A and B are shown apart, each in its own frame.
Chain A
Amino acid sequence: MTLQLVVADACSIMNFAPIDRMPLLNVALRERGRWTQAVEGEIRRSANTLEFRKLSALLQGGWLGEPIELDSAEDLNVVEGIRMALGGVPSAPRQHLGEAESIRAIESRPELKGAIFLTDDGDATYLATRRGITVKDTRWLISDAYSMGDIGCPEAYEVLKMMTDAARPIKLPDSHIDICP
């Protein structure tokens, strides 16, 4: 069976840093995780801040492999178009670049065919879904980790609760049953 790869967006990766659970991200991704150059750049910059300093574990551990680089003439044009479709304005070239690169990478790289786009950004979810990409969020990742025995109940739910308490933009389910049925 081919491993279904997961292309992770910065916002989802960052959910694990303020609650000091970066190792859980690594376990939950189970070597399926990939990232693009812009996402890696955003993580690198965020790791320099106090709130997200724990991201350095990811940078040192190399859990997501070499960042995917998009460099063909078509890539450059399409990425900028997707970035703008996500609401990025021309005068702020890095705005929504990570999401745009992730969508383009899944659409164009043969090795990422059928890959999951992991994001908690509503706009990126909408656009990627409309383009035929499978999109999942942090709730799914934690639930998946539970189903694989990487995390127990009610800890799985509590992790999500800690993320929302840390003002991370995830939707907390009503009950732990939604995460660990």
Chain B
Amino acid sequence: MKPDENALRGRVRQVIKETGLTNIEFADDIELDADKLSKSLTGVRRFTSYELALIAERGRTTVDWLLTGVAPEKIAVAARAQARSADSGLEEAVSRAREIAGVHEILKRVAPARDDRLPGLPATHLSGYAIEDGPRLADEALQFLQKYGGKTEDLRRDPATVIERAFGIDVLVEGFGDGFDGLACSTTTFRLIIVNSRTPWSRQRFTLFHEWGHILAGDGRQGGICVDGDVMGATDRVEEMRANSFAASALMPESDIREQAREPVTEASFAELVGYFRVSPDALAWRLKTLGVISPAERAALGAMSVQRAAVLGGWGAEYGNLTRNQGRARIPLTLAGRAAEAFLDGKIAARPLATLLRVDSSTLLEMHSAAGDTAADDERAVFVP
């Protein structure tokens, strides 16, 4: 990637022009020698790496854009979310999304994968009617998954890993402040879902599927972020209704319901189903009602069941205990973390990008790395690196 020097000069001129300053004022503003700037602009001398950094910084662009003219894909918060970004959880999560995107950019630049292309997504024509589009999108996603060897059973057990592997969507689960359930964003080379681990496990699962629905529907394409403070809160917008309808349909597929639900649905069989689908009783009751399996009155009665009662009655108390005990556990995007770890071990990147992903200090990783090689194996003494 060698820059065309004429084009580079042209882009620097463009940056200067956009500031509204003269060349001399611009040089003064970024503490460059005006004579050197003038010579570089006329091709008498070349720009240095430091000068390009100062110019890029002042022009709010990147050095790679100055060198190649290829604009970086930015992660931007949609206006509707910005209005609510004063909520600490939202702001933290958006900033975390940018960090993850930064690691992606770094790996793409210095340790590109053999094939950096994202897997294709099912092409879906959206009618604009959320209640129709959500289930159709879910059907197509499940068919797509099966076509590429994925199992709906795996999706039920470990949805984050299945979504990540089959759909090329990085999934991060971490603790954020109040007022944030999840977010989704994608560029042409990057897809990300973030879920707040400080919410109950059933809500985390619903949020994950809701955000997955956003990405499959193409909401927030080209770097726009769909941020959800409350996945159940914004039901007046088509894309949110569609994402919810998708989540319900993909979490509790109709074919699965027809197979598992024995009619008439009793309290005990309902409680078993809650454990099978790992959703809230309320979410399942609504789904059964939507599919005509139960009446509105049954929905109201069964939906009011507590999840603890469902676990006891349905015989999945131990599973409930595990889910609840582990609900605050963080999950990092596995594929991205694997690539970053490999690049670090190969010496292609320093520890910082991987540390950013793992949310640890880079010195911790460097110490672990150097300590691993310090102690020679000795069968006589129990010497190991703790």
Contact = CB atoms under 8 A, between A and B. Distances in A.
B362 A123 contact: yes
B294 interface: no
Interface string A74-90: 11110111001111011
Contacts of A3: none
A87 B49 contact: no
Interface of chain A: mostly helix, strand, loop or mixed: helix
Interface in A39-57: 41, 44
Interface in A65-102: 69-77, 79-81, 84-87, 89-94, 97, 100-101
Given A80-B67, A93-B56, A123 B109 contact: no
Contacts of B102: 89-91
A77 B102 CA distance: 18
Given A90-B105, A93-B56, A123-B350, A71 B362 contact: no
Contact of A86 (B46, B53, B347, B352): B352
Interface of chain B: mostly helix, strand, loop or mixed: helix
Given A70-B49, A130-B347, A84 B106 contact: yes
Interface in B20-55: 31, 45-54
A178 to B, nearest CB: 16
A123 B106 CA distance: 15
A104 B56 CA distance: 20
B222 interface: no
B89 to A, nearest CB: 23
A140 interface: no
A38 B50 contact: yes
A94 B53 contact: yes
Contacts of B62: 90-91, 93
A152 interface: no
Nearest to A80: B63
A87 B48 contact: no
Nearest to B47: A71
B48 to A, nearest CB: 4
B338 interface: no
A87 B67 contact: no
Contact of A77 (B1, B54, B366): B1
B14 interface: no
Q: Which 7 A-B pairs have the closest CB atoms?
A: A87-B352, A130-B347, A123-B350, A93-B53, A37-B50, A90-B62, A71-B46
17 contacts: A37-B50, A41-B54, A44-B31, A70-B50, A76-B47, A76-B67, A77-B1, A81-B110, A86-B350, A87-B362, A90-B63, A90-B102, A91-B102, A93-B52, A97-B49, A123-B362, A130-B347
A94 B3 CA distance: 19
